[in-house]
């Protein structure tokens, strides 16, 4: 029987999630059971900031959010807990999750000064209204920095060199290109900035009453950090903006302590003065923690508006697609992430056209066809895709296996096809999406087969999809019924960080789960069994052929992959 890591009986651990549209909180007790959760919705509850879906959209792809709205949301959520008579004094640690890549600019002389001299009888946002050099923070939805991305990549020696150093090629939403744009277009604002925080480290700064370091996992979403050495890359800083290192401050392992909760919150809400703040991290790293992925080979697939794949590996291979971040709950391993733009809406488009808008009909059609779809493969992009970078469009091919070549390996010919029948079309879209996930996750360093796949998001309700994922990936597939994996992950990281601090050493987060198998985060359900069998092997060959077709399409459409 595994030894239980004991937590004080009365302890509560808070996980906040400052996401694009809301601020949420999830509270765990000493058995790591969720005892309470609350949320503040930006558009409706802080409507004076006039956001739509939590953001302001400007010209040329600019997307920002008001920094003071995030501050006010923090007050609002604590006020809600206060009116619920929440026992703040039992909270041992707080951590959090922030939408990745978004950045906050603290004004010279005003920022840290304001944080350090907060008066607990006054509201937080009023005291911080002059603390920022930029009131509108650029966020992950911003796509206005293509020029800066290309300039950084060229100056550093190419996109692959940047990916090798930082874990990702340059992306418009990443913080380095965003900072470069501010430096180039508003130099005086850049010069008047004392510290640049990420949304995650910004929220942690509010809680500790001082500038908090950026954690390794979220730091890797900036195109500025040396992924393996976990320091700012001087070479990349030099091609981004002058004097940047001083403005970024330090980096810290995600499971470590950012500081004690500031007197402001202790006095205003009656938190215990010994309550600590564990470094915040990005929403995707927190979700990885919230889904209890903890071992190399664990993979999660979220089937939503966009599809996201993330997993843990000890041997990442950063390249021209996807992202590699340090694992937020294990400094020795890495988290890989792939974001697809064409997810559920594209599947629904095919369902509407080919299956009378019904998932039932869609699934019948899937059953009419067999795995591998008689060699019929398709690429379905109703939106311009990121993986691979292709414009909206449809491409259909028929693969035919030809006699083994002299080296004995099977080879294929591919013929362009104009139309598939509805059943083929239905299988081609889903099989194509999952084959792409397998091929790209292997390319970025996930083992084949993975240890297990956890499927979340709306699409995880479709049993046929789960069966197909098990066949394609060749491993068991599980589902987890949680919609708040980021705030749950933050609450778990809060407990994990508190234990590591108490023991004065790092312990694997899985040690926390031992003996607590009934807790929400680890309660995943086996929904489909998969095997490393001949079908898995055959799908592997198809995945390779698909990658060749994908490369050809990218070259044909004159876009660099």
Contact residues for ligand XUL, defined by CB under 6 A: 19-20, 99-101, 140, 173, 282-284, 339
Q: How far apart are CA 23 and CA 49, in angstroms?
A: 15
Instruction: Considering only CA atoms, give the Rg of the chain.
Output: 24
The encoded tokens of residue 39 equal: 């949320």
Shortest distance, position 218 Cβ to ligand XUL, whole Å:
9
Q: Which two tokens stand for residue 410?
A: 């099977």
Residues ≥6 apart with Cβ < 8 Å to 332: 314
- Pair of tokens at residue 21: 């549209």
| Furthest-apart CA atoms within the chain: distance in Å | 81
Cis peptide before 388 (omega within 30 of 0): yes
Q: Which stretches of 6-138 are DSSP H helices?
A: 42-45, 67-83, 111-116, 124-127
Residue 424 CB, nearest distance to ligand XUL (Å)?
Answer: 33
Min separation Cβ 28 and ligand XUL, Å: 22
Give yes or no for a contact between 225 and 233, defined as CB atoms under 8 angstroms apart: yes
**Cβ atoms of residues 121 and 219 within 8 Å:** no
Minimum Å distance from CB 390 to ligand XUL?
A: 19
* Phi-psi category of residue 318: left, alpha or beta, with phi > 0 → left and psi -120 to 50 → alpha: beta
Tell me if residue 458 falls in helix, strand or coil. Answer: helix
Token pair in block for residue 74: 């923090």
245 sits in which H/E element? helix 244-248
Q: Least Å distance between CB 171 and ligand XUL?
A: 8
CB 392 within 8 A of CB 383: yes
Give backbone dihedrals phi and psi of 276, rounded to 5 degrees, phi first: -110, 160
DSSP bridge pairs for 66 = 136
Q: Indicate the DSSP class of residue 46.
A: S
Q: Name residue, tokens 């007197």.
A: 263
Of residues 21 and 510, the one with the C-beta less far from ligand XUL:
21
Buried b (16+ CB within 10 A) or exposed e, 409-446: eeebebeebeebebbbbbbbbbbbbbbbbbbbbbbbbb
Cα dist. 274→119, 213, 343, 383, 492 in Å? 19, 20, 45, 50, 19
Looking at beta carbons only, is 197 or 284 nearer to ligand XUL?
284
SS3 call for 98 = strand
């Amino acid at each position: 029987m595994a030894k239980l890591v004991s937590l004080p009986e009365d302890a509560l651990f808070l996980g906040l999630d400052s996401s694009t549209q809301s601020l949420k909180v999830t509270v765990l007790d000493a058995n790591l059971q969720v005892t309470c959760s609350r949320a503040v919705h930006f558009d409706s509850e802080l409507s004076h900031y006039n956001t739509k879906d939590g953001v302001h959209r400007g010209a040329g792809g600019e997307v920002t959010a008001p920094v003071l709205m995030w501050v006010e949301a923090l007050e609002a959520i604590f006020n809600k807990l206060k009116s619920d008579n929440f026992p703040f004094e039992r909270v041992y640690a707080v951590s959090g999750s922030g939408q990745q890549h978004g950045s906050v600019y603290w004004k010279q002389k005003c920022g840290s000064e304001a944080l350090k001299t907060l008066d607990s009888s006054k509201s937080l946002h009023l005291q911080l209204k002059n603390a920022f050099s930029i009131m509108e923070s650029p966020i992950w939805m911003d796509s206005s920095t293509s020029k800066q991305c290309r300039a950084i990549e060229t100056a550093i020696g190419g996109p692959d060199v940047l990916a090798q150093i930082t874990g990702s090629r340059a992306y418009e939403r990443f913080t380095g290109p965003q900072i470069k744009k501010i430096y180039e277009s508003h130099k005086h604002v850049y010069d008047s900035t004392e510290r640049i925080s990420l949304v995650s480290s910004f929220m942690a700064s509010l809680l500790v009453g001082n500038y908090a370091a950026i954690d390794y996992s979220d730091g890797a979403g900036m195109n500025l950090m040396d992924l393996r050495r976990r320091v700012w890359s001087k070479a990349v800083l030099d091609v981004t903006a002058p004097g940047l290192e001083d403005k970024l401050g330090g980096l810290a392992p995600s499971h470590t302590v950012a500081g004690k909760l500031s007197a402001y919150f202790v006095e205003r809400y009656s938190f215990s003065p010994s309550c600590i703040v564990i470094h915040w991290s990005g929403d995707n790293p927190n979700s990885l923690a919230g889904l209890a992925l903890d071992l190399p080979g664990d993979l999660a697939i979220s089937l939503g508006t966009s599809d996201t794949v993330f997993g843990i590996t000890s041997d990442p291979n950063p390249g021209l697609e996807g992202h590699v971040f340090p694992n937020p709950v294990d400094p020795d391993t890495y988290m890989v992430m792939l974001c697809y733009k064409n997810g559920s809406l594209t599947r629904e488009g095919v369902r509407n056209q080919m299956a009378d808008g019904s998932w039932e009909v869609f699934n019948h059609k899937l059953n009419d066809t067999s795995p591998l779809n008689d060699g019929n493969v398709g690429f379905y992009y109703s939106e311009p895709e990121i993986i691979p970078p292709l414009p909206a469009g449809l491409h259909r091919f028929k693969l035919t296996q030809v006699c083994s070549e002299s080296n004995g390996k099977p080879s294929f010919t591919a013929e362009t096809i104009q139309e598939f029948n509805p059943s083929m079309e239905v299988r081609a879209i889903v099989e194509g999406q999952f084959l792409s996930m397998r091929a790209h996750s292997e390319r970025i360093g996930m083992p084949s087969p993975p240890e297990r796949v956890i499927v979340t998001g709306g699409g995880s309700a479709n049993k046929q999809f789960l069966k197909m994922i098990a066949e394609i990936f060749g491993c068991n597939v599980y589902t987890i019924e949680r919609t708040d994996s980021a705030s749950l992950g933050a609450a778990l990281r809060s407990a994990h960080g508190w234990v590591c601090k108490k023991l004065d050493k790092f312990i694997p987060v899985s040690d926390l789960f031992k003996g607590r198998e009934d807790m929400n985060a680890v309660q995943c359900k086996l929904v489909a069994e998969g095997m490393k069998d001949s079908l898995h092997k055959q799908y592997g060959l198809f995945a390779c052929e698909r990658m060749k077709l994908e490369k050809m399409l990218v070259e044909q459409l004159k876009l660099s992959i």
